Amino acid sequence: MAFDEPLQFPGYEFEAPTPDSPDADPEGLPTVPRPVNWNVLASDRAAFEWVELDRWVNWLRRTYGLGPSIIPPLWHRHSELVWELSALHLHWLCAYDEEQHGSAPLGWHRDFDEARERLHDWVAACGSRLDRDRATRQTAWPGEAPAPAVEETTIEDRAADFRRFVVEDVARRRAVEDAFMAAAADAS
């Protein structure tokens, strides 16, 4: 999929920002790049951000010929990779904004070089590969319950895994939102 193709996520509709929001263009999509805090993202916004990030990561890996030792197929299942790629995406959006200084893309490429080193280190530590993946190992600190065993799984269909991951993430976020709203309604 090309980076400039329209946003599509079969089987799920999300709500984009409203057209009257201060950072929205007439079609309701944000015009000012903003950092994404994956910890507090609302469900509908999460669906949008996941698809946008995935589309950009696919563009990035193809454009720069990045192998799975830098961006593995199931990068979305590793929070350390999500945070790094999300920050890199925001940096790219800002560097290539039409109102940005002409040297901004050079700064992005310098930072991209450093980011590739970190991505490579994290991929090596988490053990994700082209055809297999496992959750990033966790170390239990003294007094904590032991970390769960980590199982390696075979990657059958990366796109299907991504869709399933996003649907589950959005459902988890929506359940938290619904529980909050129910508690607020009960309190009033």
Average pLDDT over residues 44-72: 97
Query: 185 and 117 share a domain?
Result: no
Q: Does residue 114 lie within any of the structural domains?
A: yes
Query: 149 and 163 share a domain?
Result: no
Distance of CA 107 to the CA centre of its chain: 22
Domain count, the chain: 2
Query: 103 and 139 share a domain?
Result: yes
Specify whether the CB–CB gap between 117 and 101 falls below 8 A.
no
Q: Is the pLDDT of residue 4 over 70?
A: no
Q: What pLDDT shows up at residue 30?
A: 53
- Lowest-confidence pick of 34-38, 164-168, 181-185: 181-185
Segments forming the whole domain that contains residue 126: 48-155
Residue from 94, 16, 89 nearest 54 by CA? 89
pTM of the model: 0.81
Q: Does residue 69 lie within any of the structural domains?
A: yes
Query: 64 and 135 share a domain?
Result: yes
Mean pLDDT of the chain: 86
What is the tens place of the pLDDT at every residue in 20-57? 443 444 454 556 788 999 999 999 999 999 999 999 99
Query: 123 and 166 share a domain?
Result: no
